[in-house]
Amino acid sequence: MFTRRAIMLGAGQGVLLTGLAARMYYLQVMERDRYATLADDNRISHRLLPPPRGIVTDRFGAPLAVNRQNYHILIVREQSPDVRKTLTILSQVIEIAPETIDRVEEDVKRRRSFVPVTVRDNLTWDEVARVGVNAPDLPGIIIDAGRSRDYPEGPHLAHTLGYVAAVAERDLTGDPLLELPGFRIGKSGIEKTYDMSLRGKAGTSQVEVNALGRVIRELDREEGESGETVVLTLDIELQRYANQRLSEYESAAAVVMDVYNGDVLAMSSHPTYDPNSFTNGISHKLWDSLINNEYAPLSNKAVNGTYAPGSTFKTCVALAALEAGVITPEQRFFCPGHLDLGNARFHCWKRGGHGWVNLHDSLKHSCDVYYYEVSQKLGIDKIAAMAKRMGLGDPTGIDLPSERGGLMPTREWKETQLGKRWQGGETLICSIGQGYVLATPLQLATMTARLASGKAVTPHLTRDHVAPDDITARSDAEFPDLGIPRQHLNYVRDGMNGVTNELRGTAYRSRIRIKGLEMAGKTGTSQVRRISMHERQTGVLKNEELPWKYRDHALFIAFAPVENPRYACAVVVEHGGSGSGVAAPIARDLLTRAQELKSSRPGVSAVNIQSASQILRTSSKKQES
């Protein structure tokens, strides 16, 4: 009995052991490939290598946004027997804030012992060298080079370029690059618009990791592709000059653009800030000071700031009136200094009045009453229609985020938005660019470029991503014709020429005296507050006597040269006073500089300028035929 049962038991155990062998065979032979793959999945971790961000240059290839080697210091706990002691020694070698030591000690405790913790960023070369020399006394200290965004022009291009900053929760799109620690994306300006092109393609590194995620060794590495180079249409020389010129005022914006192809050559908003301070995280103090600054340095006023265009708008009204046939250029209106409509009296800026005024003089002297008269015949909707054709009321579509569209009111707009009927008097106020009308400096520049070219020019900061040295290869933009008769444009341009180049023109003092570079322009002064009846009777206070924020905005639009216009410009000086006194000289200087630079720069070909005038000529021929 015992023997039988023992043999049965032994046989049973034998079967079970055979079962183990079979299972082993199944796992190790039949399922081997599957498990080998799983083992590699376990073992091999694919890490992303962040690609270098694409650089941004001006039209001539000058670097505007580049990547700088950024040295930082890290500490690895497991290699440092006493973290505090090591940090104390380190603080004698380079500058380390005392609170940093506490912070690092906390961080180090929270991470796994082999994970490096950043001690300090942005080491100078000198500091790197000093740490290197003292390396034997600094166990566990690592110097690591990363890349950080650098803006060599600093504040000169802050608004246009924008800045990069850490990825926020809401920016996550599932792109694994965005989840890399320390990865930066464009948060505003060109950096934001062209973020996808600038970002590049991530490389991968295959590393062997253990179960804790610790890297044992690198198995394979595939470098990514750095981001594309974005070439801006800006000319950094002109940009710097514009900034410098605007910095004489508290708050101002200016745009210089190519009449013919829409290239923005300079776009300045003052005050400004240093985008470099955002790259590695901005301090609370600095952020607060930027946010609470009454001159709004963070805002790009060239595209975000909306201002009543003031008298610069009269150019639009004139075109509308000519097209509607309600006036002829020679037709004259009498300006006694005011116009009565119903019970209301609308004043001209000149108390005594301008007397008999035709179209040319209305622009040259900026007579308000002339436009009151014209607008009554036109009606707001025709004015608005022309303004829209000239680029007002809608965003221009420039390649910058958060552009504002300004406002061009119509009857319908008022009824749907404000629920009130349009008043006749409001047409009068609009006709001199006050009231509801709002435009950005960029829109004003666009309007000027359209006036100068007769084409639906739209502004842009980049065209195709052309190589920086390939300036001449730029194709001329094919903007559609605005359909405004050449003759009408000439009447208005002629009036604008009067503004700057004829005696008693409102900006005659700001004319460009260099032969062949002369500009034509239009002044504008936009009221920020209502002038009360009382004030009118007692005499309007002079701007200089008012607190800054109640002073008028000074505006000026201009193009140059008068013959064959090439450059358009718009200047707004917030609360600067009068357009003629403050804004016009800036425009004069910008346009002079732009034209001087053109001749000194090899890139801009004469062909372009010739063909520009050629197109103007053909468009006028079309109108005639």
Partner 1 sequence: MASRYRIGQDPDYVPLGRRLLLMNWTLVLLLTILSCIGFAMLYSAANGSLQPWAERQMMRFVAGLVFMILIALTDVRIWLKMSYAAYVVSLILLVAVEIKGDIGMGAQRWINLGFFQLQPSELMKISLVLALARYFHGLTIEETGRIPLLIPPLLMVMAPAALVLRQPDLGTALLLIAGGGVIFWLAGVRMWKFGVILGGALAAIPIGWQFLRDYQKNRVLTFLNPENDPLGAGYHITQSKIALGSGGLFGKGFMLGSQSHLNFLPEKQTDFIFTMLGEEFGLVGGIALLLLYTLVIVYGYVIALRCANQFGRLVAIGITTTFFLYVFINIAMVMGLIPVVGVPLPLVSYGGTVMMTILVSFGLLMSISIHRDVRISRQGNDDGRH
Q: Which active-site residues does the annotation give?
A: 311
Integer Cα distance of 136 and 134 in angstroms: 6
Q: Is 210 in the site for partner 1 (CB under 8 A)?
A: yes
CA 126, chain centre distance (Å): 35
Residue with tokens 């380190």: 90
Q: Is 212 in the site for partner 1 (CB under 8 A)?
A: yes
Segment interacting with partner 1 (CB under 8 A) among 13-21, 59-67, 228-236, 544-552: 13-21
> By C-beta, is 7 or 531 nearer to partner 1?
7
Q: Is 15 in the site for partner 1 (CB under 8 A)?
A: no
Segment interacting with partner 1 (CB under 8 A) among 202-210, 298-306, 479-487, 554-562: 202-210
Q: How far is CA 344 from CA 350, 425, 428, 525, in A?
A: 18, 8, 11, 22
Residue 69 beta carbon to partner 1: minimum distance, rounded to whole angstroms: 33
Residue 142 beta carbon to partner 1: minimum distance, rounded to whole angstroms: 23
The number of C-alpha atoms within 13 Å of 140 and in the hemisphere containing its C-beta is 24
Q: How many residues bind partner 1 (CB under 8 A)?
A: 35
> By C-beta, is 39 or 514 nearer to partner 1?
39
Integer Cα distance of 599 and 129 in angstroms: 47
Residue 144 beta carbon to partner 1: minimum distance, rounded to whole angstroms: 25
Residue 45 beta carbon to partner 1: minimum distance, rounded to whole angstroms: 11
> By C-beta, is 5 or 542 nearer to partner 1?
5
Integer Cα distance of 583 and 572 in angstroms: 6
Q: Is the previous residue joined to 271 through a cis bond, with omega within 30 degrees of 0?
A: yes
Binding test (CB under 8 A) with partner 1, winner from 150, 175, 208, 394:
208
Q: Is 114 in the site for partner 1 (CB under 8 A)?
A: no
* Encoded tokens for 287: 């952020």
Q: Which of 231, 223, 286 is nearest to 58 (CA)?
A: 231
Segment interacting with partner 1 (CB under 8 A) among 8-16, 60-68, 473-481, 521-529: 8-16
* Encoded tokens for 610: 């010739």
Binding test (CB under 8 A) with partner 1, winner from 21, 503, 533, 606:
21
Using CB under 8 A as the binding rule, the residues of this chain from 23 to 52 that contact partner 1 are 23-25, 27-29, 31-32, 34-36, 38-39, 42-43
> Alpha-carbon torsion 188, 193, 198, 201, what sign?
positive
Which burial class, exposed, middle or buried, applies to 456 when counting CB atoms under 10 A from its CB (0-12, 13-18, 19+)? middle
Strand partners, 75: 117, 141
> By C-beta, is 217 or 534 nearer to partner 1?
217
Q: Is 218 in the site for partner 1 (CB under 8 A)?
A: no
**Radius of gyration over alpha carbons of the chain, in Å?**
34
* Encoded tokens for 155: 């504040």
The one-character DSSP state at 42 is H
> By C-beta, is 28 or 124 nearer to partner 1?
28
Residue 163 beta carbon to partner 1: minimum distance, rounded to whole angstroms: 40
Residue 189 beta carbon to partner 1: minimum distance, rounded to whole angstroms: 44
Residue 28 beta carbon to partner 1: minimum distance, rounded to whole angstroms: 4
Integer Cα distance of 499 and 521 in angstroms: 6
CA 161, chain centre distance (Å): 6
Q: Is 3 in the site for partner 1 (CB under 8 A)?
A: yes
Binding residues (CB under 8 A) for partner 1: these are: 1-3, 5-6, 9-10, 13-14, 16-17, 19-21, 23-25, 27-29, 31-32, 34-36, 38-39, 42-43, 208-212, 216
